[in-house]
Structure 1
């Protein structure tokens, strides 16, 4: 009995030392003390075990001992198995900054690091722009008109966009731009998200493109000339990166620029002969200046000894000889301006290189540094806006649409879809806002930008699918009245651009994060490259301490012991503690995967993807908690928080479970399962009762619904242009209409109304004649039901209106 007691006390003491990563000396002291106690009071086997453990710990944990014999052997082995980092990979790793994503890798996230930069909101100027210019812009276009009738924005809207400097949000005021914060850019794009073509047309010039590249890297002459013209729309920019043989793999560009002499404006100058073929280039058909990425070569040594200079970026005016531009692609769903650009022996002076000749070969670095910011703003903001739109129309439609004498919003199958839509919306809005706030505080979140790009565009696609499902026939029938079909079909575009989603999930999120965000891996690789044994010793054995610490934290916290201290209220506290627990499990599993797979982990994309899923869900959960912490919750918001956190933590545990089921080293996988999930699953999808409450909250006139709709256009507009505003008005009246519906249905069931009165309007009139409804009630219901029917109505067209080629029409009714 005494042996068992001493064993449990020794194990608990060692776990406490490991949790704090207190180092080798306290661990040795614990084992020696309990070894002596065991020798005196208990069995010899425990004494032997503890003394052997103390000796091994001393040999590996005390620098003076291990550096003489252990470190050289470990270092030699590490140099053989460590992955090689290519030059292009190194540039990507060096781009951006590490923030909260790095905390999650440690397994002991310090929440104060996340909360220290509080979101202070928009400036008065920025908020006024969102409330006025953005609302006016989105009210000037209709999805059907833009996508089908014009395949373009109206001319007056283009003029308005240029006049109000929508294309110059990132350009400094000294050059005539708006110089908006990242949060303001996100707010603008969410407000414009009601129309995909409009959002894309504004978003792209303010993301990766000539404007951002010029601001960060351009020469003074380039800035002085181009930035004012870009800000007020005199110049329309595009950026040519992808092509037929280089999509997401930008480093394999086949487009070339050869250094040579040629004539420009009648003078012989040193320049570049360009040959390129680009496609999927947004705004290319109307662009006046083209940013171009290409591989630069100097075979004749005109610039120096280096023959292969690497990826370079240049600016090319539209009318440059040899460039073919103006044709269009037809993007699915939303035909925003997008097209190919081809160049054959196009000559440009070296001064056209962005940043001048000194920036030759620096294009890859420039691109990845810009992507580390732009990728977390444009597409994620559009996704958040789409999710909010799905809340607005999905919740509204299902409340006014009645089946079986009840709103379809009260059917549990529909409520399941509405709950998901609300959760996706809350997660997307929180993640975009709080990540943009990091950018405004000086961050360049490379890994979070990949997380948001992948997960939020996938949430957008899922939310729109759910919204389509609950609408049924209303939104599968295209026409001016269909406010969802075009956006739904266009959602596929977001998952392909700025890095295909499959690649982003399976290669980028964890692949970049494992080296960039891990507290020790980058130091170990640097020590290997420099052959610095002492630096390696410091990094490697600190890394070993982290592994033991994460194992102890993951195990004890999974048992409910030693929960992390977190600075959140009682509503959010348990979720933050769960994030801390899974952070330790993630850190431990990451190290196990890297250790057991080594350089093979690059090719084991499914393993990498699941680790990335864990990191991503923990990151988004943290953003939701920060959003809750910093904003004033409204009535019912705690349910949406619980739903969102249950969803994210369940997804985290799913990813952990799948990882352990598929980790090739089965012995390690079994050990990890015992440590990280000793009691099995703890988190599950949201409970049915919670789903019902959340679904009702977004399908009725509640503070939660209004808070989720706040970022989008939801308060103004005529009948055709703003369905969310119309649904909001109907939901305000629904509370009055609902008891009238029930009263009339009850009368019909009792046989108090004529059997032939089948339409709601007929039943209301019959009930009025039977004095079941008052004058006030019938007057109200006539107007209310008229508006309901108008929202349920779908479009139809003349027989020959849909054929583009009328000569192919068949006469189905010959005389």
Structure 2
């Protein structure tokens, strides 16, 4: 054999060993065997020597005791010196929640069988009955236009929400609540996106708030008193966290509670004097009980030696002296109840602390643990439900709205927007459903909660913009007929709350994931802190092997475009699993190189962190799409939608990947990474025009794919009271129109051919006139004419926009009335 061949064999053996993540002992044995073979078959001396060095080196390193004392110990001592101190708040945030599929993506070698084996339960019958009855009834009662004009839900809606216990989806039945699964909670909230105000009113008490905090941390007395009252609506909760100087940085709370003695119900008790200012608090204007987060101090040592006790959470009844509550903010979009809360020298007993005095100072842990679950359900449901509503309306509108003698769904510029709405909706629905099931299975996925919060609310923003673009003028005129405006104007609310999206993307998603999900970083930190040399040695050399493995995997998978990687599926989606293997390996080595070259500075390089967050987010969402498609029965009809969603996510992954490599400060490391992970540049392509057209056809006709995509939204015939007999639900009208659209298109074609043949009077321009004349001329049958007149009546109803008397606008009308009178006077004078 030539030197070149032996050199290639040696490199191949090393790559294979690292690719397969072989142990040190196995690697040493393979290298020893290679050395013997090289000697027997006359390999070049250099190759033999190099293989011998590897064999000896790996063999020595496989001796645990020797390795620990000679190699690891100096590194261990140095590491302890440079290890940055982790604050208690940072540690609490890292320890909140559990690692789930996000950990597999950080591993660089995802276990697809684990995801495919993840349960796919149906919604329990009791919960499905609630969706089919109470949820539909509530949707039928809301009228977003009426709510916007009145500034509140109607009284009967409030009463129905309380009566049917919508506030208690997370409260167990034993306390009088509904005790729903996370999957059902998400389904309820998705249906309620028909009204932003109703969604917020129901969603917030079932997310981060007094109910969840009481369930997890409350004393028995607190649970027994409050939970039944919260369940049946006797108490309306709100939660005060955000203030003027503590928004996304919740740990910087300036609100203070000082331990002191005071009078409560005629007795002197030990308690807290509170001073606080909160804002943006949903349900605050009507709340009867306030969950309050504040910083607790004990300057006189009445509870112990600790002066700064820490962030604490307490429950405050509305009637407390010194608490000012009841004013409202006026959010953009749907006017849900939201307002400020002020407190001046408000005294409460210590047993108002959730969990009692022993939970004083534990508020930050309580908040982040609850938030990791709540963020996976409420806000993602708004993105998924809003997308379903939008594509149901927009796809149908584009089919029945004609311009240039064709449905606008046939115009490629319009198709681009519709397909994007459909793909984003499919992605959002998949991620919301599969992650909710993970919560039902006992996971508390903190990193996926950040992924979903950011990505699904951003999806909602893009969906709203695209929906507005397709509807054009119809979407910008306010009134009962405008079913687009409320969702469009409300989108920034979801993007802002529970941590602004800028923060979530640039600091939280990867900031938590890099340590929490990495298989070795946290063990290294914990063993160093515990002065555990053996534990550190195991983590350190595991980390070294992990790095070399991901380097090999990234190189091989990218050079071969993942052609030979194994995945446990076959069929049309197999290629996507393979590509995700490639992306996961590339992401994992990018993470380690970024952390090793930037160190603690990475925390402050927010755009680097944001791009890494984008990379893991796109992989997570693509995984959810694949799992969702499999869960729904792997319907071949849906494949264009799956393909569009995946190709869009892959394109966005590579965009973030390329941006990361271009901006990594350590340029030699960036060049190495590009050679390993993007040797041929960006390979993913955005969805093609042909695929875009296929997706549009699937969602703008009455297809099974459309039905699966929009499942769960409210589509009954009427709702609200904007018109004398209730307003027709636009989605119900669109369903009816789509049922007739194919027949109508055949008749449009007949009329068009007659026009080309010159059979029509040139003055007959309206479609109604052409239908009537067409019957007389024999172009259409009487049945076809009757069908088309009814069809066009419904089309016109959906195309029309609202208009109001000038007096509707109050003082504006008065001003113009004065102008009319002045103009008339001048006209009369001129005539005289």
TM range (shorter): over 0.9
Matched, 1:97 2:104: no
Report what 2:829 is aligned to. Answer: none
Query: Which consecutive unaligned segments of at least 5 residues does structure 1 have?
Result: none
1:372 shift after superposition: 0.7
Report what 2:543 is aligned to. Answer: 543
- For 2:363 and 2:440, the matched residues in 1 are separated by 24
**Contact map agreement 1:523 1:539 (CA 8 A) in 2:** yes
Report what 2:640 is aligned to. Answer: 639
Report what 1:208 is aligned to. Answer: 208
Q: Structure 1, residues 117-171: CA drift from partner, whole Å, max 9, x if none?
A: 3121211110011111111101111111112x11111110110010000001111
Q: Structure 1, residues 623-676: CA drift from partner, whole Å, max 9, x if none?
A: 111111122244520111111111112211221111111111111111111111
Q: Structure 1, residues 711-768: CA drift from partner, whole Å, max 9, x if none?
A: 2112443573521121111011001000111111121122110101111111212222
SS in 1 for 2:696: helix
Report what 2:756 is aligned to. Answer: 749
**Contact map agreement 1:214 1:222 (CA 8 A) in 2:** yes
Report what 1:726 is aligned to. Answer: 733
TM-score normalized with structure 2 length: 0.95
**Contact map agreement 2:10 2:47 (CA 8 A) in 1:** no
Report what 1:522 is aligned to. Answer: 522
Q: Structure 1, residues 250-285: CA drift from partner, whole Å, max 9, x if none?
A: 100000000001111111111100000000000000
Bigger drift between 562-571 and 351-360 goes to 562-571
Aligned with 1:772 (options 768, 772, 779): 779
Report what 1:570 is aligned to. Answer: 571
Change (3 A) 1:29 1:633: closer
5 Å-filtered alignment, 1:98-137, equals: 98-137=99-138
Change (3 A) 1:366 1:549: same
1:59 shift after superposition: 5.2
- For 2:31 and 2:447, the matched residues in 1 are separated by 41
5 Å-filtered alignment, 1:457-496, equals: 457-496=457-496
Bigger drift between 451-460 and 766-775 goes to 766-775
Aligned with 1:758 (options 759, 765, 769): 765
Change (3 A) 1:675 1:61: farther
Report what 1:288 is aligned to. Answer: 288
Matched, 1:584 2:591: no
- For 1:244 and 1:51, the matched residues in 2 are separated by 66
Q: Structure 1, residues 186-208: CA drift from partner, whole Å, max 9, x if none?
A: 01001111111101100000000
**Contact map agreement 1:380 1:428 (CA 8 A) in 2:** yes
- For 2:265 and 2:433, the matched residues in 1 are separated by 48
- For 2:611 and 2:486, the matched residues in 1 are separated by 32
1:60 shift after superposition: 4.8
**Contact map agreement 1:396 1:727 (CA 8 A) in 2:** yes
Matched, 1:217 2:208: no
Matched, 1:630 2:639: no
Q: Structure 1, residues 15-70: CA drift from partner, whole Å, max 9, x if none?
A: 22111211223333444444455565343333344344445444555434432322
Q: Structure 1, residues 470-525: CA drift from partner, whole Å, max 9, x if none?
A: 11001111111000111101101000000100000000001001111111111000
Report what 1:50 is aligned to. Answer: 51
- For 1:479 and 1:811, the matched residues in 2 are separated by 27
**Contact map agreement 2:647 2:684 (CA 8 A) in 1:** yes
SS in 2 for 1:139: helix
Report what 2:613 is aligned to. Answer: 612
- For 1:679 and 1:127, the matched residues in 2 are separated by 50
**Contact map agreement 2:629 2:635 (CA 8 A) in 1:** no
> What do you get for the CA RMSD once the two structures are aligned?
1.6
TM-score normalized with structure 1 length: 0.97
**Contact map agreement 1:635 1:704 (CA 8 A) in 2:** no
Report what 2:266 is aligned to. Answer: 266
Change (3 A) 1:784 1:91: same
Change (3 A) 1:665 1:317: same
- For 2:746 and 2:199, the matched residues in 1 are separated by 41
**Contact map agreement 1:146 1:153 (CA 8 A) in 2:** yes
1:678 shift after superposition: 2.3
- For 1:77 and 1:674, the matched residues in 2 are separated by 31
- For 1:564 and 1:13, the matched residues in 2 are separated by 17
SS in 2 for 1:574: helix
**Contact map agreement 2:289 2:318 (CA 8 A) in 1:** yes
- For 1:714 and 1:16, the matched residues in 2 are separated by 56
1:399 shift after superposition: 0.6
- For 1:427 and 1:519, the matched residues in 2 are separated by 28
- For 1:389 and 1:117, the matched residues in 2 are separated by 28
Change (3 A) 1:4 1:810: farther
Query: Which consecutive unaligned segments of at least 5 residues does structure 2 have?
Result: 720-725, 825-832
- For 1:744 and 1:377, the matched residues in 2 are separated by 50
Change (3 A) 1:483 1:650: same
- For 1:734 and 1:763, the matched residues in 2 are separated by 18
1:807 shift after superposition: 6.3
- For 1:556 and 1:539, the matched residues in 2 are separated by 25
The total of aligned residue pairs comes to 814
SS in 1 for 2:277: strand
- For 1:208 and 1:753, the matched residues in 2 are separated by 65
- For 2:570 and 2:795, the matched residues in 1 are separated by 42
SS in 1 for 2:320: coil
